[in-house]
Amino acid sequence: MLESLGPVLVKYPEFTEAKIIERICEPERQLIFRVPWQDDRGVVHINRGFRVQFNSALGPYKGGLRFHPSVYLGIIKFLGFEQIFKNSLTGLPIGGAKGGSDFDPKGKSDSEVMRFCQSFMLELWRIIGEHTDVPAGDIGVGGREIGFLFGQYKRLTNKFEAGVLTGKGLVYGGSQVRTEATGYGCTYFVNEMLASKKNGFKGKKVLVSGSGNVAIYTLEKVHQLGGKVVAMSDSNGVIHDEKGINLETIKQLKEVERRRIKEYCDSHKSARYIPNGNIWDIPCDVAFPSATENEITGKDAKKLVKNGCIAVGEGANMPTTPEGVHVFIQAGILYGPGKAANAGGVATSGLEMQQNASREAWGFEETDIKLQQIMRNVYVLCSEAAEEFGAPGNFVVGANIAGFIKVARAMIAHGIV
């Protein structure tokens, strides 16, 4: 991020004078708390909860909650820092934050997840609110968890404050397209990059790592646009089927039954399962890393480029290591970094907040069109900033600069706070 900003600081000396870099790197507030809960057998467990309120120059703090055993303060801080600039790129009035816990939802019953969420909210409610901080989902936090968190917040505050969380169910204030938004948005972003080269998804062979919310709706949109997803994965292994991955089977396995991806091969005989496999070894035209951070190393990136990959859209946050990013940029392929390519999720959260504030509920198509417009704008912003600052076609530089300038201007306007 900082490497990209050199030319911006030269052009705007007032940013250096106001110590914007030093201020932006320091979160405005960080909360770490104990989350005690009891499992179904009555055994007591203790997890650690986090909320890092990084920057509120553009609007209320906004960003997801991640429940995963790997979570610690450093992960939440890097995600919160990314979120500031991603949210800025959406053009919506939202600041940057992130939170979560080292709780592992895998293998837990619905009642255990509910008790955990209730205990988590018993602490978190003090520092959130529709005008203050609006959490949503991330890895391990989906519709079920947001429902439990919302129920507890409502009970504690005695207020139906719909705008306090996003990613809610459609029957109690959620937005159409929020479930699909990150995957759809990432596909729209890559489609914009391809269109700039007079290309498109028709006939393209596509890899989508992961099989969570982002991966599933990337698969759906890629197929709608005429591409073919030939492989997906989970933390145990990879499924590969040159005939294309079936959306309905994946949805049933992952969204309904919460099972492992290996079981896909039971009902699809043309598919092969590669235990602990590396999805990036499979030749493709387009890659969507949509699992987690650091999943594409320098070596993986080289393999992708060598195998003919022409575009990468990051559905996950920072899935490519710095070495991998370097390989993509040097090779001159179309590379959409997460803070731009996956901004559709939080953007649609912003649309959910708009609907909650006006007590409206828009239709699916209407909301999807707004998402498409936002992704086109994000693409144009990145592309123009890259051009203006001497790195045409480099969306890493473009996204970092375009996201940063808006936040820096707002911080200057607010004085030394």
Q: Which residues bind ligand GLU (CB under 6 A)?
A: 62-64, 86, 136, 138, 166, 317, 345-346, 349
CA separation (Å) from 327 to 142, 169, 279, 298? 33, 41, 18, 7
Residue whose structure tokens are 């948005």? 185
Q: How far is residue 246's CA from residue 249's CA, in Å, rounded to a whole number?
A: 6
Q: C-beta of 152: minimal distance to ligand GLU in Å?
A: 19
**Which residues on neighbouring strands pair with residue 44, listed in sequence order?**
38
Could you tell me which of 119, 108, 157 has the C-alpha nearest to residue 33?
A: 119
Buried b (16+ CB within 10 A) or exposed e, 15-43: beebebbeebeebbebeebebebeeeeee
> Tokens for 38?
């009891």
Quick check: 55 and 84 in contact, CB under 8 A? Answer: yes
Could you tell me which of 61, 93, 58, 132 has the C-alpha nearest to residue 411?
A: 58
Q: C-beta of 45: minimal distance to ligand GLU in Å?
A: 25
> In the complex with ligand GLU, which residue's Cβ is closer, 166 or 400?
166
> In the complex with ligand GLU, which residue's Cβ is closer, 138 or 234?
138
Point out the catalytic residue in the list 98, 154, 205, 339: 98
Q: C-beta of 316: minimal distance to ligand GLU in Å?
A: 9
Q: C-beta of 330: minimal distance to ligand GLU in Å?
A: 27
> In the complex with ligand GLU, which residue's Cβ is closer, 138 or 285?
138
Q: C-beta of 14: minimal distance to ligand GLU in Å?
A: 30
Q: Is 98 a catalytic residue?
A: yes
- Residue with nearest beta carbon to ligand GLU: 64
Catalytically annotated residues: 98
